[in-house]
Structure 1
Amino acid sequence: MNEEKQKHEKDLEVNSFIPLYQQLYDNIRKQITVGIYKPGDKLPSEGDLCKEFNVSRITVRNALKQLVEEEILCKKRGKGTYVTIPARVEALCAGNSFTNSCHRINAKPSTRIITTSIEKANKAASEALNIEQDDKVICIKRLRLIDDVPVIFEIDYFRMEYMFLLKEDLEDASLMETISKNISTQPKRVEDVFEVKYSNKEYSDLLKCATNMPLLKVRQLVYAENDEVLYYNEQYIRSDKYKYAVSANI
């Protein structure tokens, strides 16, 4: 019997007035709190927990049931029990910047560039950028992650005068700050349109979610100080992992 197992068994007092399942619940929750089990980690099987803590299967099931009901754990059919990955709520004071929002909620932002290309504008991009359909545009596809968990797949469209973006290192960079650094015009405001889009295979592979899972689709226009459209983007958001926040004066 190893030292860690002995410690766990000492934590569960058979003669205590506190039920064993409640003691086990407290023990597992403490291990999650101190980081022994982290969000996304898989717990040992029910059988392994029975052996580890020297308790019955019904005791283990009651403890896990309580943790699942409190959304601390989640069960995945045929796969096991996992520590829940909490949804992050966008900071309203972050100025519509994903990077700033993550910093304000004490999370680690990262960006993975999927592709950068020059292609013909589709109907949505041409209307948003006020150009002819089939005119060339710069298209940047990015995956946004919080604490290494993918939460947003984003497609950004720019007019051809933004060729400097193809020379920039955009990995883990703020797009708005990069634009501000290269041109005198500053991003001023955004307009968002929301709808539900069911995930296709491309989005599911990138966002690590099931095909046909409902995603929040945001169509966004980013305006400069002179009210000219700087760029247009489409964001596909796993709203179970990241809550998009909007504030408005009325």
Structure 2
Amino acid sequence: MAAPLYRQIAHKIREEIESGNWREGEAIPTEKHLSEQFSASRVTIRQAIKCLVEEDLLKRVQGSGTYVNEKKIEHNIFELQSFTEEMRRLNKEPINHVLNFQMIEPSEKVREVLQLSEGEKVFYIRRQRLVDDTPYVLEDTYLPVNMFPDLSYQIMSGSKYDYIEQIRGMKIKESFQEVIPILPDQEVATSLRLDATTPILKIQLHSVFYDGTVFEYSDIYFKSDEYKFTLRASRP
């Protein structure tokens, strides 16, 4: 028994994408064009497109059109690497926009995680991490002032881990992370260019040196349409 026409068309469109004829990030032909190409009604074309949107091969952008989805970045939470390292490994050149850089009194939670004494201050830095002018990640980082007294806006416009390991000569051992699905507040949504009703993934993490010193606490917000998180488990 032959598959319904809309599924046959969805299969042909899928082949166009997989062969590279329709490239990632590009708009697909209009419904009118596809209707003529496949000798099918617009209703049938919409059904085919709906199937591929549900498969994450296509995405609809309100007021703009339908586009071939770019492959999500596979983020392995068991591998400690910076955003800069992760993007360069994928042959992408990241840009950091520092949205906020100030010295503050930490909250009780940040003070406890960083094991600070009463009165010790931290640098608070909010960075928008972009590739090709598209924001992928929003990062709120807290670093102890007494540990990094020379930290600057310019340094945080580059790679934080490059500064810590290559400039300061401190060796990072590991980080402890918690992944939480959330709805962003309006400020986070605006920074990621998202609707506030779009779910995102938040990682709360703290990182330590080989001597056990906690040097960083961060809240990192990931766009769920750009990232997928992987866990690799093996049987003992």
User: Normalising by the residue count of structure 2, what TM-score does the alignment of the two structures yield?
Assistant: 0.77
C-alpha distance in 1, partners of 2:112/2:141?
14
Distance 1:33 1:116, change over 3 A: farther
State whether structure 2 residue 214 is matched by structure 1 residue 232: no
Does the aligned pair in 2 maintain the 1:118–1:137 contact within 8 Å?
yes
- Quick one: which amino acid aligns to residue 111 of structure 1? I
Q: Secondary structure at the match of 1:192?
A: strand
Q: Secondary structure at the match of 1:90?
A: strand
Name 1:71's counterpart in structure 2: 56
Write the mapping of 1:161-240 to structure 2, written as runs, cut at 5 A.
161=146, 162-166=148-152, 168-171=154-157, 173-240=158-225
> Among 3, 9, 16, which residue is 1:30 paired with?
16
Aligned length: 228
Distance 1:133 1:216, change over 3 A: farther
Identity %: 23
Question: Where does structure 1 lack aligned partners over 5 or more consecutive residues?
Answer: 1-18
Name 1:115's counterpart in structure 2: 100
- Quick one: which amino acid aligns to residue 185 of structure 1? M
Q: Secondary structure at the match of 1:117?
A: strand
C-alpha distance in 1, partners of 2:205/2:78?
18
C-alpha distance in 1, partners of 2:65/2:32?
12
CA shift at 1:115, angstroms? 2.3
Structure having the higher Rg: 1
State whether structure 2 residue 68 is matched by structure 1 residue 45: no
Name 1:87's counterpart in structure 2: 72
User: Normalising by the residue count of structure 1, what TM-score does the alignment of the two structures yield?
Assistant: 0.73
C-alpha distance in 2, partners of 1:20/1:218?
40
Does the aligned pair in 1 maintain the 2:181–2:202 contact within 8 Å?
yes
Does the aligned pair in 2 maintain the 1:122–1:133 contact within 8 Å?
no
Does the aligned pair in 2 maintain the 1:157–1:231 contact within 8 Å?
yes
Distance 1:240 1:67, change over 3 A: closer
Q: Secondary structure at the match of 1:139?
A: strand
Question: Where does structure 2 lack aligned partners over 5 or more consecutive residues?
Answer: none
Does the aligned pair in 2 maintain the 1:199–1:211 contact within 8 Å?
yes
Deviations 1:93-138 (A, max 9, x none): 753333333344x351513222222222122221122224664211
C-alpha distance in 1, partners of 2:183/2:126?
18
Does the aligned pair in 1 maintain the 2:10–2:51 contact within 8 Å?
no
C-alpha distance in 1, partners of 2:197/2:109?
22
C-alpha distance in 1, partners of 2:210/2:136?
29
Deviations 1:44-87 (A, max 9, x none): 43124446x48443464455345335432133566532222332
CA shift at 1:209, angstroms? 1.6
CA shift at 1:181, angstroms? 2.2
CA shift at 1:42, angstroms? 3.2
Tell me which of the two structures has the higher relative contact order, counting C-alpha pairs closer than 8 angstroms and 6 or more residues apart: 2
Q: RMSD in angstroms over aligned alpha carbons?
A: 3.4
C-alpha distance in 2, partners of 1:20/1:192?
43
Structure with more of its chain in helix, by fraction:
1
Deviations 1:143-181 (A, max 9, x none): 22356542221111111131322064433x331121112
Does the aligned pair in 1 maintain the 2:136–2:226 contact within 8 Å?
yes
Name 1:11's counterpart in structure 2: none
